Structure 1
Amino acid sequence: MEKVVKSESEWRVQLSPEEFRVLRQAGTEPAYTGEYVDTKTEGVYSCRACGAELFRSGTKFESHCGWPSFFEPSESDAVVLIEDHSLGMSRVEVRCARCDSHLGHVFHGEGYATPTDDRYCINSVSLRLVPADS
C-alpha cells in the first residue's frame, strides 16, 4: 500500500474544519451525532482523508455507544493500532495505515456477540461510505 503523506496545511485545504480536527488532531465527534451511527446500508467504509478501504458493512454492529462500531477491519493491515494513554485513560487508538489519520479506538473483551469480541469505535467523520450498489 502506497502511503499518503501531506503537510498539515495540505490536509487543512482538503478537509473541512471538523474533519481536520478529528482526522489530523485526534479529536472525537460528539456521541450520536455522526452520519453513520445508525446506517445499515451495505457497502465499504473508506478513510475520508485518503480513500483507503477500512471496514465493510458486514462487520458493523449495534453497540449503542454513540459511534459506528465494527468487529474487525476489512484487512488486518488497513489500520494501525497505537497505545493511547491520553486523558488519564488506557486505550488503543485506531489510525489509517495509509495516511496515519485518527479514526477512533478499539476495545476488546466487552462481551459483544461478535466473532472477535472487538469493538472498533470509529468517528463517522473519519469515514466515507461507498454503497454496494454504486
Structure 2
Amino acid sequence: RATAPGRLDPLGVPRGRLGPTGRALLDRLVALYLDRLPPELAAREADRLHGGELHFAWAGAVEPGRRHYYRVQGDDLLIEYDNTTDDGNHAHTVLRRPAGDFGADVLAAHHAAAHRPGPVRGDAPR
C-alpha cells in the first residue's frame, strides 16, 4: 500500500508485455476508474494517458475473501485498490495524479485513524 509521492517499486508488469486479453482488461480497469470522473475530465485524462506506458502490480491472494492489493501506475497516474484490512473485506480505492497532488496522504491517515494494525498474513502486501 502506498499512495506516497513518486513512483512505487516494483512497478509491476508493463502493459506492453501483457497479451491481448491482459491489455484489454487493463484498459477496461483504467476506464472504470476514469468513468467515475465528470465526462469532460474523464475524456481529457484518457487522452493524456493514451500512448504512455502503464504498469500493473498485484499482491495477495486471488481467492475471494482474502487480502489483496493492486496498483496501476503510469507517468502521472496512480490507481490503487487496497483490500488488505479485515481479512480482505474492507476495500479502499485511489485515483491520483502524483505529479500534481498536494496535501497529505489521505488513505494512510484513514488507515492510521480507523484501522488498528493486526497480524500480517502471508497474503498481505508489504
Bigger helix fraction: 2
Q: In which range does the TM-score fall when normalised by the shorter chain?
A: under 0.3
Q: Rg: which structure is higher?
A: 2
Q: Which has the higher contact order (CA 8 A, sep 6+)?
A: 1
Using the size of structure 1 for normalisation, the TM-score is: 0.23
Using the size of structure 2 for normalisation, the TM-score is: 0.24
